[in-house]
Amino acid sequence: MSDLANSPAFAVVPGAAVQQALAGNEKVVAGIVENAYRLHGGGRTVNPPSYFLRFPDRPSARIIALPASLGGDEHPVDGLKWISSFPENLGKGLPRASAVLILNDPETGYPFACLESSVISAARTAASAALAADVLSRDRARPSRVGFAGTGLIARYVHQYLAGTGWEFSETGVYDRSAEYAEGFRGYLERSGATGVRVHDDAESLIRASDLLVFATTAAEPHIADPAWFDHHPLVLHVSLRDLAPEMLVTACNVVDDVEHCLKANTSVHLLEQRLGHREFLAGTLFDVLTGAVSAPADQTVVFSPFGLGVLDLAVGEYVYAETARAGRLVSIDGFFSELSRHG
């Protein structure tokens, strides 16, 4: 990060370099995400509401802006994630989501990097899920059977981060409304060394057979509505936020990443708040669990609903930038800032 007199530097970090920086570093990234949660819970971040850009002529599509500022003594950084979700891309052979992350120097405000961010977003989401699975199972039996509802990029990264942070499972279940996607995910799991892989024909079978559930679908509204399916009180990572009907959450231990962020945009917990008129069904935040203020009971279904915080993207993005710079893989854009003289 150069000062103004020396013409601020600007670099691009392509997707391949992002993947190289993250590969095999799941435990490191999970630690970075945990530190970001602690900074956020300690009031050392700025994380305003996300802004949703929607299109009347393309109702299924959206682009979301996540501005944020990450404090702390080691790697403070400001920035913005700009992430799109265009479900129709799947029919074109393209991933649904694409993203860039801009990092800004907190001293000058100048942006110093633009990073491909679909992988950063997936990694921070997966690291958050793996961290939650770990801390929420400390006071209950550690899950031995995992089930994935939804089999896209996020599901793959959550599995990668669970495995990379030490989780082992005797059974790995898979369910997707698309049999083709489910079989493709089965192939990925078997290639990655997962044991006891089974593709389920319906969501009920998957849920009843799993102690740890990962919902990573593209569901726009709740479609899981029978509480009896959860009688065995699993730990649920509700990453996609809208799979569970509100009545499913009434008797659960509900943990979110951030209350104000998660209780909006018709997430399942937001729908329950609208129905009840209060937020007393929330046990607390992941920061509360990390600090010991909240623990997950063994006799309740535990549901973690992470809306996704921009500060997590900044934390992981700054790490990726630093690792890429150390490896000499930054793509520097010389002269990106050209108007640097006050009077010409």
The pLDDT of residue 169 is above 90? yes
* 186-244 tens-digit pLDDT: 999 999 999 999 999 999 999 999 999 999 998 989 999 999 999 999 999 999 999 99
Domain boundaries, the chain: 4-120+310-332, 129-305
Confidence (pLDDT) at 77: 97
* 135-154 tens-digit pLDDT: 999 999 999 999 999 999 99
The pLDDT of residue 335 is above 90? no
pLDDT confidence band for 341 (50 / 70 / 90): confident
Mean confidence (pLDDT) of the chain: 95
pLDDT confidence band for 6 (50 / 70 / 90): low
What whole-number percentage of the chain has pLDDT above 90?
89
CATH architecture of 129-305: 3-Layer(aba) Sandwich (3.40)
Looking at residues 288-317, what average pLDDT do you find? 96
Confidence (pLDDT) at 106: 96
The pLDDT of residue 344 is above 80? no
Query: What is the SS3 string spanning the chain?
Result: CCCHHHCCCCEEECHHHHHHHHCCCHHHHHHHHHHHHHHHHCCCEECCCCEEEECCCCCCCEEEEEEEEECCCCCCEEEEEEEEECHHHHHHCCCCEEEEEEEECCCCCCEEEEEECHHHHHHHHHHHHHHHHHHHCCCCCCCCEEEEECCCHHHHHHHHHHHHCCCCCCEEEEECCCHHHHHHHHHHHHHCCCCCEEECCCHHHHHHCCCEEEECCCCCCCCECCHHHHCCCCEEECCCCCCECHHHHCCCEEEECCHHHHCCCCCHHHHHHHHHCCCCCEEEEHHHHHCCCCCCCCCCCEEEECCCCHHHHHHHHHHHHHHHHHCCCCEECCCCCCCCCCCC
Confidence (pLDDT) at 342: 76
The pLDDT of residue 2 is above 60? no
pLDDT confidence band for 90 (50 / 70 / 90): confident
CATH architecture of 4-120+310-332: 2-Layer Sandwich (3.30)
